[in-house]
C-alpha cells in the first residue's frame, strides 16, 4: 500500500511506549500493533485525532504517501 504508517517513528521521537500510547488513546494493544505494522486497512478520524493529541503531532507525521 502506498500509504505508510510512521507511528513507530513518532513514538520513538516522543519516547513513548506502545503500552503508554494504548492507555492514552484508549485503543487495545493489538489494534495499535495492527496500525503500527501497517496491516490496518483504514483509520478512523477519531483514532487519528487521539493519536495526534497523544503524540502532539500532525496526521502527516503519522501517515505518509510513498509512490
Partner 1 sequence: MNKMLKALYVLAWILFIGLCIRTGVILVTFLISIGINPEASSNLYEGLDLSSVMDANWVHYTLITGLIISIWALKSWMLFGVIQIFQKLKIQDPFHFSISKKITQISHVALLVGVLSILSFAYGRWLVDQGLMLNHFSESVRGGMEFLFMAGIFYVFAVIFRRGVEIQQEHELTI
Positions touching partner 1 (CB under 8 A) are 27, 31-32, 34-35, 39-44, 47
- Cβ at position 11, least distance to partner 1 in Å: 15
CA distance to 9, 15, 21, per residue, from 12 (Å): 5, 5, 11
Whose Cβ is closer to partner 1: residue 42's or residue 66's? 42
- Cβ at position 1, least distance to partner 1 in Å: 11
- Cβ at position 62, least distance to partner 1 in Å: 12
CA–CA separation, 1 and 30 (whole Å)? 20
CA–CA separation, 5 and 39 (whole Å)? 9
Amino acid at each position: 500500500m502506498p500509504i505508510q504508517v510512521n507511528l513507530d517513528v513518532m513514538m520513538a521521537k516522543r519516547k513513548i511506549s506502545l503500552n503508554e500510547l494504548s492507555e492514552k488513546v484508549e485503543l487495545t494493544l493489538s489494534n495499535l500493533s495492527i496500525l503500527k505494522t501497517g496491516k490496518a486497512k483504514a483509520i478512523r478520524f477519531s483514532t487519528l485525532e487521539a493519536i495526534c493529541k497523544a503524540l502532539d503531532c500532525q496526521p502527516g507525521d503519522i501517515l505518509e504517501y510513498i509512490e
